């Protein structure tokens, strides 16, 4: 499978060239264009309960679409709903945790399962469930804004809304941004995720809530 990510980082588009019989699995609604005679199969992914929890708690679509190229091969373009970045990751039997809405596409053999994140995830604004993505193959993640990888060696603090994904070797706790609740509530930063361990963390340079807040101020009363 050959791919190209163009128009980074603001309006990224994932272009894929599939060989005969090759497939790509994507979030429902991500297809922008595709060549003729491309096969399309819609499934719920890892079973009904996983699909249901992914939809209700993870913010993802209920279904996945799998596109398969004909004998002559084919092309397909994929993009997320919001303007922003796309990155590719190679999983080699490992797993990563991804915030809701950031999964775009992957090799068909990659597993996408909703995982309970505990109350720390709820209070952090990321929802009760994260997506655990595992297996061997290529994964494509999207964001609102540019995606920045960070190598964590010890401790690192990130605003919860900027988290895109992190390796399962990292642990996190949600806490106050400032030294006290006054700083947290009035300083505009809200809650943060304090990561510990060794691994890679991916963050997005913008958050949709920030744009919505800015836009709301311009709307007529």
| 73-120 per-position pLDDT tens digit | 999 999 999 999 999 999 998 899 998 789 999 999 999 888 755 544
Among 38, 31, 25, CA closest to 107? 25
| Residue 79 structural domain | 2-217
Peptide bond into 9 cis (omega under 30): yes
* % of the chain surpassing 90 pLDDT: 58
User: Is the confidence at residue 199, as pLDDT, over 60?
Assistant: yes
Domain count along the chain = 1
User: Is the confidence at residue 145, as pLDDT, over 80?
Assistant: yes
| Per-residue confidence band for 183, with pLDDT thresholds at 50, 70 and 90 | low
User: Is the confidence at residue 15, as pLDDT, over 50?
Assistant: yes
**What does the block give as tokens for 122?**
């709820």
Render pLDDT for 19-62 as a digit per residue (tens, 0 to 9).
999 999 999 999 999 999 999 999 875 544 444 444 444 445 56
- Write the DSSP assignment of 69-137 as a string of letters: --TT-EEEEE--SSSB-EEEEEEEEEEEEE-TT-EEEE-TT-EEEEEE-HHHHHHTTS-SEEEEEEEEE
Mean pLDDT of the chain: 84
pLDDT score, position 186:
53
* % of the chain surpassing 70 pLDDT: 79
Domain harbouring 99, CATH code: 3.60.160.10
């Amino acid at each position: 499978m050959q791919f190209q990510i163009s128009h980074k980082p603001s309006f990224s588009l994932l272009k894929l060239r599939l060989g005969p019989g090759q497939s790509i699995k994507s979030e429902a609604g991500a297809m922008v264009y595709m060549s003729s005679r491309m096969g399309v199969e819609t499934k719920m992914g890892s079973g009904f309960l996983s699909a249901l929890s992914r939809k209700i708690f993870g913010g993802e679509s209920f279904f996945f679409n799998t596109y398969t190229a004909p004998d002559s091969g084919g092309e397909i373009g994929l993009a997320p709903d919001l303007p922003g970045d796309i990155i590719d990751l190679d999983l080699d039997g490992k797993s990563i945790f991804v915030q809701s809405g950031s999964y775009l596409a992957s090799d068909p053999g990659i597993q996408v399962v909703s995982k309970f994140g505990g109350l720390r995830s709820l209070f952090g604004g990321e929802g009760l469930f994260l997506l655990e993505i595992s297996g061997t193959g290529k994964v494509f993640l999207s964001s609102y804004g540019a995606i920045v990888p960070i190598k964590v060696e010890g401790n690192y603090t990130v605003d919860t809304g900027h988290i895109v994904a992190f390796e399962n070797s990292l642990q996190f706790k949600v806490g106050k941004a400032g030294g006290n609740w006054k700083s947290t509530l009035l300083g505009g930063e809200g809650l943060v995720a304090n990561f510990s361990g060794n691994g890679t963390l991916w963050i997005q340079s913008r958050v949709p809530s920030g744009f919505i807040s800015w836009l709301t101020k311009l709307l007529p009363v």
